[in-house]
Amino acid sequence: QVVSQGWKYFRGHFYYFSQISKTWYSAQQICISRNSHLTSEFLYRTAGGLPYWIGLTKAGSEGDWHWVDGTPYNKVQSEKFWIPGEPNNYGNNEHCVNLKTSALRSWNDASCDNTFLFICKRSYKPSDP
Ligand code: 2F8
Ligand code: CA
């Protein structure tokens, strides 16, 4: 596994697993924010059950989940990634998603105001958007 200044390379992208906790919005601002569900196996295994924010939110979109990097959210294909019973919009205030377990079913919706570690994703090529 290639690791460069904390960025881990996996299948064409580099991923940064933070060591500090931030709100979802702060994390998103810190990242050159490119998260995706395509690599969930790599992500949940590496996250190892520690909660990390990922780039999936329904804030500001009338309840529709969307990836901040513009990757289309595939509702059917994404079913298998939610922890059973999630997303439950606990307290009517859970609009951001973190990885919460070390299993494929690792997604939980949580309040964006909570602070968690976070994962940034960027292209292999520094010049790519
Ligand atoms: O039981 C699942 C439930 O657990 C917590 O709420 C009690 C989570 N809250 C946070 O992680 C902040 C809920 O998101 C989760 O659904
Ligand atoms: Ca939840």
Q: How far is the centre of ligand 2, averaged over its atoms, from the C-alpha of 101 (Å)?
A: 13
Give me the pLDDT at residue 38, please: 47
Cα 85 from chain centroid (whole Å) = 18
Atom of ligand 1 nearest to the CA of 87: 16
H helix count then E strand count, the chain: 3, 9
56 class by beta-carbon count within 10 Å (0-12 exposed, 13-18 middle, 19+ buried): buried
Query: Each residue of 59-94: pLDDT tens digit?
Result: 988 889 999 888 889 999 899 999 999 999 999 999
Residues in the chain: 129
**What integer pLDDT is reported at residue 96 of this predicted model?**
97
Give the pLDDT of residue 114. Answer: 98
* Single pTM value for the model: 0.86
Across the chain, mean pLDDT equals 86
**What residue's CA is closest to ligand 1, atom 12?**
110
Supply 103's token pair.
């299993």
Rounded CA gap, 88 and 39, in Å? 23
In this structure, what are the phi and psi dihedrals at residue 57, rounded to the nearest 5 degrees?
A: -155, 155
- The reported pLDDT for the residue numbered 112 is 97
Is 47 or 128 the better-scoring residue by pLDDT? 47
Assigned token pair, 59: 């804030």
Tell me the C-alpha distance between 54 and 59, whole Å: 13
Higher pLDDT, 51 or 60: 51
Q: Which residue's C-alpha comes closest to atom 4 of ligand 1?
A: 90
Minimum mean pLDDT range among 32-36, 63-67, 107-111: 32-36
In the block, tokens 């105001």 appear at 113
